[in-house]
Chain A
Amino acid sequence: MKDQFIIGGQEVSSRLLLGTGKFSSNKIIPEVVRAAGAQVITVALRRVDPEKAEENIVSHIPAGCILMPNTSGARTAEEAVRIARLAKAAGCGNWIKIEVISDAKYLLPDNIETIKATQVLAAEGFVVLPYMSPDLMVAKKLVEAGAAAVMPLGSPIGSNRGIKTKELIRILIEEISVPIIVDAGIGRPSEAAEAMEMGAAAVLVNTAVATAGDPVAMARAFSMAVTAGRLAYLADPEDRKVYASASSPLTGFLHS
Chain B
Amino acid sequence: MKLTVNGKEVECLAGTTVAALIKERKLNAACIVVEYNHTILKQNEWEGVVLNQHDTLEIVAFVGGG
Contact = CB atoms under 8 A, between A and B. Distances in A.
A54 to B, nearest CB: 5
Contact of A43 (B6, B40, B62): B62
B33 to A, nearest CB: 5
Q: How large is the interface on A (under 10, 10 to 19, 20 to 34, 35 or more residues)?
A: 35 or more
A69 B64 CA distance: 9
Contact of B58 (A42, A47, A57, A72): A47
Contacts of A206: 65-66
Interface stretch (A8-16, A20-28, A226-234, A242-250): A20-28
Interface residues of B, number: 23
Contacts of A86: 33, 35, 40, 58, 60
Which applies to chain A's interface (DSSP): helix, strand, loop or mixed? mixed
Interface in B7-32: 7, 25-28, 30-32
B28 A207 contact: no
Contacts of B65: 19-21, 42-45, 69-70, 72, 206
A79 B26 CA distance: 28
A204 interface: yes
A50 B25 contact: yes
A65 interface: no
A58 interface: yes
Interface of B: 6-7, 25-28, 30-33, 35, 38, 40, 42, 58-66
